[in-house]
Structure 1
Amino acid sequence: MTSEREAVSGGLSRPGLRGREAELERLRALVGAVRDGEGGAIALLLGEPGIGKTVLLEETVSIARAHGFAVSQGRAEELHELAPLASLASGLLHGDPPLLSAGDFAHLAGHHDQRIWLVERLAQLIEERSAGTPTLIAIDDVQWADPLSRFALNVMPARLLTSPVLWLLAGRQDPELRGSGPCTTTVPLRPLSDAALAELARDVLGEDVSRKVTDLLDGSGGNPFLAAEMLTGIAATGADAAVPPERLVLGVRGRLAALGPDTLHFLRIGSVLGRAFRLADAAALCGRPATALLGELHEALAAGLLTDDGERLVFRHDLLRQAVYADLAPSVRRALHREAASRLVAAGRTSVDAVPHLLKSAEPGDREAVRLLGTAASDVLPVMPDLAADLALRALELVPPHDPDAFGVGERAITALTRAGRYTRARETGDALLARQPPLDVFARLQSVLGDALWHLDDTHELTRRSTAGLAVVTDPAVSARLTARQALAQSRGRDLAGARRTGERALAEAERAGDREARVVALWGLGEIALNAGDCAAAVEHHTALSAFDAAFLPEEVVARIHLDDLDSARRLLGAAGDTPPRPAMLMWAQGSLNLGLGRLDDAEADLITTERLEADLGVPANLVNVRVLRGWLTLLRGEREAAREHLGIVRAAVADRPNTGNHAAHQYLEALLADADRDHAAAAEHIRSIQRDHPFLRWRLLRTRFVEAVRIALRAGDRFLAEDLAAQAAAHASRNPSVPTAQGIAAHTAALVNGDTKLLERSVQIFLTGPRPLQLAAARADLGHALLSTGDAAAIPALTRAYETYAQVGAGFEAERVRADLDRATTRAGRRTATGPRAGQGWGALTASERKVARLIATGHTNRSAAAALVVSPHTVNTHLAAIFRKLSVNSRVHLTRLVLAEGAAGGS
C-alpha cells in the first residue's frame, strides 16, 4: 500500500497503518454508509498512547474528504479543562470550510452559561450545514476534552443521528456517550502482531528484517509508535548499536542524551506547559528572552522532538512529552507548575491558563492559589458547575483550618456544590465549617446558604430548624430576609399554610426593605408554592407573575400557575415569548407539556414529557422524573397500553426509592391507584388514594385538582362511599377557592353528581366545562352523562356519548373511546354510526400519531428540525422527540429513508 509506505517515510508521527487493515475497512464502510444516506453514526477509536489512533483518524479523514465529506478536525489538550468548548471548537472553527463561522461561535460563546441551549443550537447549526453534504467531526485525544465539550459530545451525537454526520472520536478510554446505542462503532486498537511489526520494519528499513531487529522490536510491546521510534534508531545507527529502552520512553532517553543541557532544560520546561506551548511562555519560565532560546529550539526541532504549527510549539507525540516530563523529579514538577502559574498571571493571562498548573502544584496556605481557584470557580459556575465545585473544594482545602478566610471560601464551595446538584456534599461541607464554631454572623450566613441544598434534599424539617437557628443570631438585614424566606418555603410543605403565608409576606417585606435580590426571589417563590398548596390559583398566579417579572428563570412557574387558573391562552403566549435561550429549558418543556395536556394534545404532551426527561438526564438532575413518568403512565392507560404503564410505574418506584420525598410518594401512589383500578383491584386502588389523602394532605390541590373525578370513580368502584364523599368535598372546597376557574367548578359539579347519582348535576358540569378550555374533562363529563341517561332510556344519551367518543378518538385516548363506544353501541342500533378507531398499530405508518405524521412529512420535504418546529409552532426539542419516535416506529435510520417512505405512503394514498 503506497500511502502506508509514504506515511511512514513522511514522518515519525505517522508510523504507518500496518496491521490496521481490518479496522480501516470498518471505518471505510462507516464513511460509505453515512455518505449513502443511512443516517448518522459514531466511531470510537480506543487504545493506549502510541497505538495508532491518530494515524487511523487522519486516514479516515482523508477517506471522508475523498468521498465528498465536509470535515471538522480538532484535538483536546490536557491543560485546557477550564476553556469552555475549547476541544470541540478546535475542530468546528478550522474545517475547510469550517462548520462554524467565527460569528456563529461568538454568538454561541455569548450563551455559554446555558448548556442545554448551546448544545441544541450547535446541533441545529450542524444539522443545517450537513443537509446537503455529509459531515465528519473528528476529535483526537478526547480523554482531555474540557467539561463543556464532553457534555456536548455526550448529547449532540444522539441529536444528529437522523442527519448524515459521522463522529470520529479517538481516546485512551471509552467516553461512555449516553444515548449513542446501536449507531456507535467501537474500534479498539490492540498491539500489532509480529507479522505487522515485520512489515513495518520492512517499510522503514527497506530490506529483510534480521532476527536481531525482530528481537529488538519485541520491546515495543506491539505499540506502533514505539516500534517506529526504535526502527528510526536502527536505521540511523544499525541494529548492533540499538539498546532496547523501557517501554513507555522507548528511544527517547537515548535521543535526549545527545542534546545539549540547555536544550534539555528547555524541553523539560515545555513539557510542564503541555503538549503544545508558546515559545514566549517557555522563555518566561526559563528566565530568558525568547531570542536567546533559538539555538535550543532549532536543536529540538532537528531532533524530531518538536514541531512548529505557526502559533505554538508542539511535542510530536504525547508519549514524547510524557517521557521528558517523567524525567523530572516530582518536587521539581510541582515547583515548575507553580512558577508557571505565577508567570502566566504576571503576563496577564486568565485563570483558564493558570489554574491547571495550580491544581498540580498549590500547597496549603497558598493565598494566590486560593484566590485564583475561587475566581475560576466563579467564572465557570454557570456552564460547568461540576468543575466549579471541584475548584471551589480545592480552594477550601488550601485554606488552613483556623484561617478566618475559610468561611468565605467555604460558602462559595457550598454554592457551587449545590448548583452542581451535589447536595449531600454541600451539606457535609457546611456542617464541617459550622463545627469550627464561626462568629455568629458567619453562622447565620452559612445556615442561609445551606438552605438550597436542604430544600433539594427534601429535608424541610432541617431547613426549618436551621433557618430558625440562624434567625436567632443574625444581625444583617439581608441575611435575615433570606432566612425568613427559606423558612416560608419550608413551611409551604406543612399543614399550617395560613401561618406559612404570613411568614412569606414578612420575608418579602424584609427583602424589599433590605434591597436583597436573593431574599426577594425566595420569598416570592415560597409565597407561590404556599398558594398552590392551598389551592388558591389566583394568588399563585399573582406571586409567580411577580417572580418571573423579577427573574425570567421562573417563567415556567408562572406558566404552570396560569394553567391551573385555566388561563391557557396567556400560558401559550408566555411560552411563545420565551425566546431562543430560556435559562431552564427542561422546566420550560415541563410547562409546555402541562399546557398540551390541558388542551388535550396528548401526543405533543407526551413528546414534551419525554423531552423534559431527556434534558434533565443530560444535566444529571432528574428533578421531574417521577412526575413525568406518572403522567406518561396515565397517558398510556388512556390509550389502553397497560404494559407500557407498568414500565413507567417500575421507573417511578425506583426513583421514589432514591428520592423518597412527600411529593414523589404521593404521585407514585396515584399511578399505583390507576394501575390497580385498571387491573380491577378496586380495593387496592382505593387504598392508594387513601394514602394520598392521609399522608399528604397539602398535595390534594396540586395532585388531584384535575384528577378528582378519577379518584371518586375509584372510591365508588371500591364501595368506599366515605372516601368518595371526602374527595367530592375537597373538589367543592377547591372550587370555592377558585370561583373564576371553570375546571374547578366543573369538577366540583361532576364529582358531586357521581357521589349523589344526580343527572342534573352532570348536565350542569357539561355546561360548565363548555365554558372552559379542557376537552378531556368535558369528554369525561359527557361520557358519564350519557351513561346515566342511557340507564333511564333517555334518547339524549346518544349525542352526549357520540361527542365524548369523538373527543377521545380525536385526541388518541383509544381505551376511553372504546369504553364510551360500548355504551354508544347499546344506545343505538344504527351500526353505520359506529366509527371505531381500533388500537394503533405498533409499527409502520399506522403507528404514527397525528403530530408525528406532520413532522415526518415536513422532514421529508427538506425541513430541518428547527424549521419544522417553526412551521408547527412547537419547540425544536419536541420535533426531535417526535422524530426519534418516527424512526423507531418506521424502522428507518436516516432522513433519506424517511423521505422515501413518506413519498411511497403518499403515492399509496396514505393519510
Structure 2
Amino acid sequence: MNPGTGSGGDLAQQPPDAGLSRPGLRGREAELARLRSLVETVHQGEGGAMALLLGEPGIGKTVLLEETVSIARAHGFVVSQGRAEELHEVAPLASLASGILHGAPPLLSTADFAHLAGHHDQRVWLVERLAQLIEERSAGTPTLIAIDDVQWADPLSRFALNVLPVRLLTSPVLWLLAGREDPDSYGDGPRTRTFPLRPLSGAALAELAHDILGGDVPQKVTALLDGAGGNPFLASEMLTGIAASGVDGPDPLKRLVPGVRSRLAALRPGTLHFLRIGSVLGRAFTLADAAALCGRPPATLIGELDEAIASGLLDDDGERLLFRHDLLRQAVYADLAPSVRRALHREAASRLVATGRTSADAVPHLLKSAEPGDQEAIGLLGRAATDVIAVMPHLAADLAVRALELVPPHEPAVFDVGERAISALTRAGRHTRARETGDALLARRPPLDVSARLQSALGDTLWHLDAIHELARRSTAALAVATDPAIRARLTAWQAMARSRGRDLEAARGTGERALAEAERTGDREARFLALRALGEIALNAGECAAAVDHHTALSAFDTAFLPEEIVARVHMDDFDSARELLRAAGGEHLRPAMLMWAQGNLNLGLGRLDDAEADLATAERLEADIGVPGNLVNIRVNRGLLAMLRGDRDAAREHLDVVRAAMDDRPNTGNHATHQYLEAVVADADGDPAAAAERVRSAQRDHPFVRWRLLRTRFVEAVRIALRAEDRPLAEDLAAQAADHASRNPRVPTAQGIAAHTAALVTADHGLLERSVRILGTGPRPLHLAAAHADLGGALLTAGDAAAIPTLTRAYEAYAQAGAGFEADRLRAELDRATPRSGRRATGPGPRPGQGWDALTASERKVARLIAAGHTNRSAAAALVVSPHTVNTHLASIFRKLSVHSRVHLARLVLAQTGTEAPAGS
C-alpha cells in the first residue's frame, strides 16, 4: 500500500479533499471532518471563522493544518500560509507577516506590507488597516490564513490575531492557527472552533504502522510503538527507521530508535556539532550564521550539511536551513550543557550585531545569555525597548527591566537605565511596579539632581495611581534640590498637575503658567508638554471652556495625539462646527483611535444623536479593550448609562452601572468616583429614591470639588431636579448658583447661559426665566437641552392654562422622539394625551423600538446595512457615511445581532427583502 493513502482506496480516484491524503492523519478523522465542514461553511458564505489546532509538539498539528490547506485550495480559497519563529518575539508583526505575504498570489503585496510596517507603532490603526485590506481581498473569494507555531508569535502579531478574526467575522475569511496548549494567547470570538489534539489510540497507531510498513505489523513493532506515547511524529520516526532497516535485519532493536536522541547518536561528531549550533540559532537559520558560530568557512560545512539533510533532520529552502520538526531541534538543543547554550547565544547575538542585524534579531539571544555587567547587552536591550515601546509596551517594559537587572547596583549608569525602565513600565500601565522601581533607585541615595530627575520620571506613574498628595509632596521636595532648569520645569508642571485636583485653582493656574514659561526658556519639549497638559486640566476643572480650548489647541499642535482633547474642549464651547471639522481631519490620524471615538461620541451626544453616540462610545470601549488599556472605561460606561436612562432602558443602565462599580473596585480614582456617584444618583432617582440620589450628588460635590463643573456643566438641570424631588432646597440652590457661576465664566457659550437660566427657573418657579432659557438654548446646537427647557416651560404653561402649552410641549416631545430619548418622549406623550380633551389633538410618534428584526435597527444601522449589502467594504461604507470604519464595524455587530444573521451574504438577502419599503441608502 502507498504510505499515507490509508484504507480508503487510491486517492487519485477521489476528490482532492476526501480521505487521508497525506501521512500522519490516522486517528484524526473526526477533527478532519470538522475542519472540512468549517471550510465548506465559510465557502458557502456563512461568514468568517477560526480554527485552533492545539497540542504538544509532534502531535500532528502541522499535518492537519497542511491537509486543511489542501481542502481549502480545492474549494477555491485564496491561501496564505506561514509560521511563527521562536526568535521573532521582538520583531513586530513578523509572525503574521509570514502568513499574509506568502501565497499564490500573496494576500498582501510587499508594497502594502511595507506601508503598514512603517506604522507599526500605531497598532490599532495598523490592525484596522490590515482588516480593511483583507476584507477587500476576500470580497470575491474566500480566504484562508494559516499560521503554524503561533505559540511563538510576536506580541503585535498576537494582538492582531486576537482582533482581526472578530473584526472580519462578516467576511469569508477562515483563520487556521496551530500551536501549543495555550488558547488564551490566540484570537477568540463567537465562531472559534478549538481542536485539542490528544495522543493517538493504539488502534490509530496500528493503522499508521500498516500505512508505513504495509502488510501485517509484527507484535514487537506494536510493543515498540508504546514508547511513542501516542505521539504520531515519534511513532512515524520509529516506523520509518524500521522500514529502512528491515525488522529482521541485524541487531534490529538497536536500529529501532525509540527517541530522537538515539537517532542523533548515529551522526558524525562534526554534523552533530553543526546541528547543535543551528539549534541555538532557531528552527530556521542561515548557513553563514551557523558557519560563523562554528568558526569555519561555509564551504567546509558541506559534508555536515549533506549528512544532516540526508538523515531527514534538516531541509534547505534555498534561503535558509530548517529543522524538519521542532522536536528534532529541541532534542539537539537539550543535549547542550546550560553553560554552552548561554555562551553560544551570547556569541550569536554578537554575530548578528556585527553583521548589521537589528536589535530585534539579537535581543532574543541576549535574553538567554546576558550576564550582569554586559554593557553591549544593556545597550541593545535598551535600544530594543525604545524601538517597540509604542506598539508593544509590555514587551518594552520587560526589556527595560531586564536591562536594569544587568547593571551592577553601584554603577552610575543604573540611574539612567532605571529612568528608562520607569518610563517603559508606566507606558505599559504597570504603575505599581514603576513606582517600586523608582523608589528602589531613590533608596540608593543618588546625587540630588539625579534624584530630582527620577522623581520627575515618576510623575506620570503617581498621576495614574491617583496618588495626588504624594505627587504634590514629591515634586515640591524635588524642586528644592533640583538645579537642572529643564528638570525644574518638569517638576513645576507636575506640581501644577497635582494642584489641578485641589480647591485653589487660581494657585494651580499660576503654577502651570510658571511651568510653561520655564519650559519655553529651557526649550525642553517634555516640560512644555506637561505644562500645557496641566493648564488644560486646570481650565477644565475651573469650568473655563475658552481657556481649555486654547490650552488643548496648543497641546494638539504640539502633539497630534491630543487632538481628541481639543475636539472635546470645542464641544464644551458649543463650537460643534470646528469639532466636526477636526474629526474629519483626524480621519487619517493613526493616534489614539479610542479617544477619537470618545470625542466623536461627545459631539453626537451634544447633537442629540443618541444612537450614533451609543455606537461611538461602544466603539471607544472596544478599542480600549483591544489594547488592554481601559483608561476611559468609567467615563464611557457612565455616559452609556445616562444614554440608556434617556431611552428608558433601566436594565441597560444598571448593567453599565455594575461595570462602573467593578472598575472602581479594581482601580479607585477620585475623578472617576465623582462620575460614578452621579450615575448612581440618576439610577436611584429613577428607582424612586430621590433622597439617596440627592445625597450622591452632594457627595460628588463635597468630596470632589475639582470636578464640579467638569462633571455637571451640561447636567445641572437634571441635578437640580433630583434635589427638588428630594425636597433638598439648599442643594438645589447651590447647584443653581454653580450653574450661574459657570455661565459667568463662559459668556460666549449658549448652553452655559441657557442652563443657568433654566436651573434658576426651576428653583424660583419663574416662567420668565424658562422663556429666556428657551430663547438662549434655541441659539445653541444642543437639541436635547432645548427640549428640556421646552418641556418645563410647556408644563408650567399647562398648569397656568395657557394655550401655548400644547405647541411648546409638542416641540419638546418631537425633539426627544427624533433623538430616540424614549423615556422623556413617552413622559411628554402621556402629558400631551392628558391635555388633549382641552386641545383637541393627540401626540403621535414612534413607539418603543423592538429588540429584534429590521424595525430594531437605528437609522444609522439601516444605512450601514444597505451599503454593506450593496457590496461596500467597511472602509468604503465609512467613507460614504463620513464616519470611522471603527464605527461601521460597531454598527455591523449590532446589525448582525438584531437581524440574527452571520454573514454579508445573509445580510444582503434580508436587505433585498426590504426593497421597495425603505428609502435608498444614504437618504
- TM-score range (shorter-chain normalised) is over 0.9
Which residue of 853, 860, 870 corresponds with 1:851? 860
| Per-residue Cα deviation, 1:742-763 (whole angstroms, up to 9, x for no partner) | 0000000000011111111111
Overall identity of the aligned pairs, in %? 80
Structure 1 residue 640: Cα displacement: 0.9
1:681-830 maps to which residues of 2 (within 5 A)?
681-829=689-837
Partner residue in 1 for 2:525: 517
The answer as to 2:509 corresponding to 1:492 is no
- Which amino acid counterpart does residue 27 of structure 1 have in structure 2? L
Which residue of 631, 635, 639 corresponds with 2:643? 635
- Which amino acid counterpart does residue 230 of structure 1 have in structure 2? M
Q: Which moved more, 1:707-716 or 1:614-623?
A: 614-623
How has the CA–CA distance of structure 1 residues 755 and 2 changed in structure 2, closer, same or farther, with 3 Å as cutoff? farther
Q: Is the 8 A contact 2:158 2:187 kept in 1?
A: no
Structure 1 residue 582: Cα displacement: 2.9
Q: Is the 8 A contact 1:276 1:313 kept in 2?
A: yes
Structure 1 residue 383: Cα displacement: 1.2
Which residue of 53, 58, 70 corresponds with 2:66? 58
SS at match of 1:828: helix
Give the gaps of 5 or more residues in structure 1.
none
- Which amino acid counterpart does residue 561 of structure 1 have in structure 2? A
The answer as to 2:182 corresponding to 1:205 is no
- Which amino acid counterpart does residue 294 of structure 2 have in structure 1? C
SS at match of 1:187: strand
| Per-residue Cα deviation, 1:292-317 (whole angstroms, up to 9, x for no partner) | 10111011111110000111000000
How has the CA–CA distance of structure 1 residues 178 and 353 changed in structure 2, closer, same or farther, with 3 Å as cutoff? closer
Structure 1 residue 238: Cα displacement: 3.2
How has the CA–CA distance of structure 1 residues 3 and 616 changed in structure 2, closer, same or farther, with 3 Å as cutoff? farther
Q: Which moved more, 1:80-89 or 1:339-348?
A: 339-348
Q: Is the 8 A contact 2:5 2:22 kept in 1?
A: no
Structure 1 residue 871: Cα displacement: 0.8
TM-score normalised by structure 2 residue count? 0.96
Which residue of 894, 899, 905 corresponds with 1:885? 894
Which residue of 427, 432, 439 corresponds with 2:440? 432
C-alpha distance in 2 between matches for 1:183 and 1:177: 17
| Per-residue Cα deviation, 1:531-583 (whole angstroms, up to 9, x for no partner) | 11001111111111111111111111111111111111101111111142331
Q: Is the 8 A contact 2:878 2:885 kept in 1?
A: yes
| Per-residue Cα deviation, 1:372-416 (whole angstroms, up to 9, x for no partner) | 111111111121111111011111111111111111110111111
| Per-residue Cα deviation, 1:159-218 (whole angstroms, up to 9, x for no partner) | 000111111110002332688333010011111111111110011101101111110001
- Which amino acid counterpart does residue 27 of structure 2 have in structure 1? G
TM-score normalised by structure 1 residue count? 0.98
| Per-residue Cα deviation, 1:598-646 (whole angstroms, up to 9, x for no partner) | 1111111111101111111111111110111111111111111111111
C-alpha distance in 1 between matches for 2:634 and 2:875: 29
- Which amino acid counterpart does residue 812 of structure 2 have in structure 1? A
- Which amino acid counterpart does residue 384 of structure 1 have in structure 2? M
C-alpha distance in 2 between matches for 1:325 and 1:134: 40
C-alpha distance in 2 between matches for 1:603 and 1:180: 28
Structure 1 residue 351: Cα displacement: 1.1
Which residue of 58, 62, 77 corresponds with 1:69? 77
The answer as to 2:437 corresponding to 1:413 is no
The answer as to 2:457 corresponding to 1:456 is no
Partner residue in 2 for 1:531: 539
1:322-361 maps to which residues of 2 (within 5 A)?
322-361=330-369
C-alpha distance in 2 between matches for 1:245 and 1:385: 51
C-alpha RMSD of matched pairs (Å): 1.9
| Per-residue Cα deviation, 1:255-309 (whole angstroms, up to 9, x for no partner) | 2222111111100000000000000000000000000101110111111100001
The answer as to 2:512 corresponding to 1:504 is yes
SS at match of 2:139: coil
- Which amino acid counterpart does residue 295 of structure 1 have in structure 2? G
Q: Is the 8 A contact 2:57 2:326 kept in 1?
A: yes
Give the gaps of 5 or more residues in structure 2.
12-20
C-alpha distance in 1 between matches for 2:649 and 2:320: 61
- Which amino acid counterpart does residue 834 of structure 1 have in structure 2? A
The answer as to 2:229 corresponding to 1:227 is no
| Per-residue Cα deviation, 1:741-787 (whole angstroms, up to 9, x for no partner) | 00000000000011111111111101101100000100110011111
Which residue of 383, 387, 399 corresponds with 1:391? 399
Alignment size in residue pairs: 908
| Per-residue Cα deviation, 1:697-724 (whole angstroms, up to 9, x for no partner) | 1111111000000000011111111111
How has the CA–CA distance of structure 1 residues 840 and 280 changed in structure 2, closer, same or farther, with 3 Å as cutoff? same
Structure 1 residue 242: Cα displacement: 4.8
Structure 1 residue 831: Cα displacement: 7.0
Which residue of 594, 602, 616 corresponds with 2:602? 594
Q: Is the 8 A contact 2:224 2:258 kept in 1?
A: no
How has the CA–CA distance of structure 1 residues 826 and 754 changed in structure 2, closer, same or farther, with 3 Å as cutoff? same
Partner residue in 1 for 2:549: 541
C-alpha distance in 2 between matches for 1:196 and 1:581: 56
SS at match of 2:322: strand
- Which amino acid counterpart does residue 526 of structure 1 have in structure 2? A
Q: Is the 8 A contact 1:153 1:177 kept in 2?
A: no
Partner residue in 1 for 2:52: 44
C-alpha distance in 2 between matches for 1:322 and 1:112: 32
- Which amino acid counterpart does residue 855 of structure 1 have in structure 2? V
SS at match of 2:792: helix
Structure 1 residue 254: Cα displacement: 2.7
How has the CA–CA distance of structure 1 residues 756 and 530 changed in structure 2, closer, same or farther, with 3 Å as cutoff? same
Which residue of 130, 135, 157 corresponds with 2:138? 130
SS at match of 2:47: coil
Q: Is the 8 A contact 2:54 2:178 kept in 1?
A: yes
Q: Which moved more, 1:318-327 or 1:654-663?
A: 654-663
How has the CA–CA distance of structure 1 residues 874 and 242 changed in structure 2, closer, same or farther, with 3 Å as cutoff? farther
Structure 1 residue 3: Cα displacement: 8.7
Partner residue in 2 for 1:175: 183
Partner residue in 1 for 2:850: 841
C-alpha distance in 1 between matches for 2:203 and 2:549: 75
Q: Which moved more, 1:582-591 or 1:889-898?
A: 582-591
Q: Is the 8 A contact 1:15 1:224 kept in 2?
A: no
How has the CA–CA distance of structure 1 residues 899 and 832 changed in structure 2, closer, same or farther, with 3 Å as cutoff? farther
Which residue of 285, 289, 292 corresponds with 2:297? 289
The answer as to 2:910 corresponding to 1:901 is yes
Q: Is the 8 A contact 2:158 2:186 kept in 1?
A: no
C-alpha distance in 2 between matches for 1:429 and 1:22: 52
